[in-house]
Amino acid sequence: MALCARLLSTALSLAIALPVTSAAFADGSVNLYSSRHYDTDERLYSDFEEQTGITINRIEGNADELIERLKAEGRNSPADVLITVDAGRIWRAADADLFAPVESDILEERIPAALRHPDNLWFGFSTRARLIFYNKERVSEPPQTYEELADPKYKGQVCIRSSTNIYNLSLLASIIATDGAEAAEAWAQGVKDNLARSPQGGDTDQLKGLVSGECDIAVANSYYFARSLRTNVEGLSEHVDQIGWGFPNQDGRGAHVNVSAAGVLKNAPNRENAIKFLEYLASDSAQEYFASGNDEYPVVEGVGLSASVTKLGEFKRDDLNLAALGENQTEAQSIFNAVGFK
- pLDDT digits 0-9 by tens, 228-250: 999 999 999 999 999 999 999 99
pLDDT bin (cut points 50, 70, 90) of residue 27 is low
Between 21-25, 32-36, 156-160, 201-205, the lowest mean confidence (pLDDT) is in: 21-25
- Give the residue from 13, 40, 91, 22 showing the smallest Cα distance to 329: 91
The fold of the 128-255+326-338 domain, in CATH, is D-Maltodextrin-Binding Protein; domain 2 (3.40.190)
pLDDT score of 119 more than 50 = yes
Cα distance between residue 332 and residue 318, in whole Å: 18
Name the percent of the chain lying above pLDDT 90: 87
pLDDT score of 17 more than 90 = no
The 3-state DSSP composition of the chain as helix, strand, coil percent (nearest 5) reads 50, 15, 35
Q: Do domains 24-127+259-304 and 128-255+326-338 have the same CATH topology?
A: yes
CA distances from 86 to 42, 210, 259 (A): 20, 25, 5
pTM of the shown model: 0.90
pLDDT score of 255 more than 90 = yes
CATH 3.40.190.10 fits 24-127+259-304, yes or no: yes
pLDDT score of 20 more than 80 = no
pLDDT score of 71 more than 90 = yes
46-75: average pLDDT: 96
Contacts 24+ apart (CB under 8 A), 174-177: 174/256, 174/318, 174/320, 174/324, 174/325, 174/328, 175/146, 176/328, 176/331, 176/332, 176/335, 177/320, 177/324, 177/325, 177/327, 177/328
Residue-level pLDDT at 290: 83
Q: In the chain, where are the structural domains located?
A: 24-127+259-304, 128-255+326-338
